Amino acid sequence: MEPSVVGLFLLAGLASLFMAWVIGAGSSGATPFAPAVGANAISTMQAAFVVGLFGFAGAVVQGANVSEAVGRGLIGGGSLPAVGVIIVLFIGAGLMAIGIKTGYPIATAFTVTGSVIGVGLALGGTPVWPKYIQISTVWVLTPIVGGGIAYSIATVLPRADVPERYSIPLLAGVVGAVLANVEFAYLGPGKTAGSLTGLVQRTVDLGGVAITLTISLFVAGGIAAVVAWDIRRDMSAGLRHVLLALGSLVAFSAGGSQVGLAVGPLLPLLDDVGMIPVIAVLFGGGLGILAGSWTAAPRMIKSLAQDYSSLGPRRSIAALVPSFLIAQVAVLLGVPVSFNEIVVSAIIGSGAAVGGSEAVSARKIGVTLCAWVCSFGIAFVLGYGTALFL
């Protein structure tokens, strides 16, 4: 192997680590626990510590799908060379760093996707329209679906005719049923990705939709029973435990989704370098996210928790449930999605249920929406122009 190829790969690897650090400091590290911090269920520093651990775990065991989509699914007719990968990562990380510095959540998925497409097209690649349609559909529906579900849950939880000793365990059971069918690395046959329901089916040598449904209901019922017992024992403590558990699941999902934005562009280079397994790249990206969460996430956590909405534990639960569900759908589809968009939309929806427009900062929301819309376009133009120039 030529030294120049190795040198470019190492430089691209450093750029990937920097991108992972920025993701941990921003979207992945801040958004999952922002509702919990806003509800005073956990301190900012404690949230940064916990989200780093779960983000790392999610990156390692769930990061393959989105990484593959970002690395090989956005441009047809070839893959990005090392120089193109370096351009992509530095553009994405640079725009994210600006967002962290200013306190506004730049959408990581928008910047990385825009720069990958821009660089790829400038270097002679062809558009992959079916993937673009899938990604844009998820991006457009995320605030509508996430905010709508959060609003609906937040309006139901305080109602006297819907006792929380029933409604909160029911929500926890729904999350548990989804979790039982989420794919994790090494749970499938031959150490491939697989779900808990699939593992149980292979263990008992039974299959079919009925068995999957039975296992899912069993997991959901068990989790709901534990949550119901905890809430009956102490309502305040039970709500706090549910909120922290949901924040941990969202942080795990964030790691599984966001690591692909940092290490996905590296995947085409692995064919040139040789014997470097994908799991090793995911592990390195997870470490970068962990470091970013521990060292720089508190600023963004505070911004999201205090500036967007003042939420109690019930509204925070309402925000985190759709955040987890949407994140897992995106991971399953292999769609790079912005966790800023997911969680901020849910926070806005749940906050609006509290007191309408007075519950959220209109100016902050407007600036954030502008940042989301502009980030893709700016990243695309920078990527396309830089690749042509170089």
What digits encode the pLDDT tens for the residues 15-34?
A: 889 889 988 887 666 777 87
Helix crossing, 339-355 with 235-263: angle to 10°?
150
Q: What pTM did the predictor assign?
A: 0.89
Helix crossing, 164-180 with 209-233: angle to 10°?
140
pLDDT for residue 307 is more than 60: no
pLDDT for residue 226 is more than 90: yes
> What's the pLDDT at 360?
59
pLDDT for residue 308 is more than 50: no
Distance, CA of 89 to CA of 367 (rounded, Å) = 24
Residue 75's beta-bridge partner residues? 127
User: Are the beta carbons of 353 and 155 closer than 8 angstroms?
Assistant: yes
The single-letter DSSP state of residue 266 is G
Residue with tokens 């996707």: 113
Percent of the chain whose pLDDT exceeds 90: 38
Distance, CA of 138 to CA of 128 (rounded, Å) = 16
**Who contacts 314 (Cβ-Cβ below 8 Å, separation ≥6)?**
154, 157, 158, 164, 239
Return the CA Rg of the chain: 21
Q: Comparing 97 with 181, which gets the higher pLDDT?
A: 181
pLDDT for residue 309 is more than 50: no
Q: Phi and psi at residue 218, in whole multiples of 5°?
A: -65, -45
108-121 confidence digits (pLDDT tens): 889 999 999 999 99
Distance, CA of 297 to CA of 55 (rounded, Å) = 12
Q: Phi and psi at residue 186, in whole multiples of 5°?
A: 75, 0
> What's the pLDDT at 354?
67
Among 134-148, 241-255, 334-348, 362-376, whose mean pLDDT is lowest? 362-376
Mean pLDDT of 134-150: 92
